[in-house]
């Protein structure tokens, strides 16, 4: 019998290549990146509904933002996930007087270069209350997508920027091993110089 070029034979059954591709993509999206598998399994944060910068159970500190400086936390996506919003939790300092406040998602290249791939609009009500979780939708402002596909094993960085604050907010964070540990490659966090009026593209 003629062979359909759009199918493959598995255990004597003809299976469409499209169906097989969909199955492999689904399996790939459920496989944890080796770099993060142990941490996610240990801290019990295997929740396919979200991707976290790090397990919430080890969030033991807070970070005081600096006006006009993008604060960044680097992480590896443990699975493929379509997102349409970004979330952070403000801790014990409420922001006052902010003229700009936004979150952005950056890809991190092998050499450490960052590229903005998704962002929220500025919202000066962000982080204005203590011990409060804030979720903001992705924005198409500037040509960015309202929905973004995060890829399994890609390194990303979540960036937060405020300007004009008379009291800066303090989002929940994880303390590191100090400047030396934070500076080791690949970087796990950092901030830009105090030069930005809005989230930079790179």
C-alpha span between 188 and 156 (Å, rounded): 10
pLDDT for 44: 45
Name residue, tokens 């960044």.
Answer: 72
First and final C-alpha spacing in the chain: 56
Please confirm whether the linkage preceding 127 is cis (ω < 30° from 0).
no
pLDDT for 194: 78
pLDDT for 30: 52
- CATH number of the domain at 34-191, please? 2.60.120
Q: What is the pTM of this model?
A: 0.76
C-alpha span between 196 and 173 (Å, rounded): 22
Q: Average pLDDT for consecutive 10-residue bins of the chain (202 residues)?
A: 53 64 58 53 56 68 86 86 93 93 95 94 95 95 96 92 94 64 69 88 93
Question: ∠157-188-130 over CA atoms, to 5°?
Answer: 70
Give the residue extent of every domain in the chain. Answer: 34-191
């Amino acid at each position: 019998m003629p062979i359909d070029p759009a199918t493959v034979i598995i255990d004597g059954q003809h299976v469409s290549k499209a169906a097989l591709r969909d199955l492999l993509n689904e399996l790939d999206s459920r496989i944890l990146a080796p770099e993060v598998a142990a941490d996610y399994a240990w801290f019990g944060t295997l929740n396919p509904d979200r991707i976290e910068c790090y397990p919430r159970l080890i969030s033991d500190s807070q970070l005081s933002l600096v006006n006009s400086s993008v604060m960044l936390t680097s992480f590896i996506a443990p699975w493929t996930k379509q997102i349409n919003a970004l979330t952070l939790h403000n801790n014990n300092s409420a922001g006052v007087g902010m003229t700009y406040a936004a979150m952005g998602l950056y890809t991190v290249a092998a050499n450490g270069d960052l590229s903005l791939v998704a962002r929220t609009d500025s919202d000066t009500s962000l982080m204005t209350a203590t011990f409060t979780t804030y979720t903001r939708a992705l924005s198409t402002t500037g040509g960015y997508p309202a929905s973004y596909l995060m890829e399994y094993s890609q390194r990303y960085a979540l960036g937060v920027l405020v300007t004009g604050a008379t009291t800066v907010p303090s989002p929940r964070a994880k303390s590191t091993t100090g400047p030396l540990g934070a500076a080791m490659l690949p970087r796990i966090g950092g901030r830009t110089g105090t030069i930005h009026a809005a989230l930079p593209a790179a």
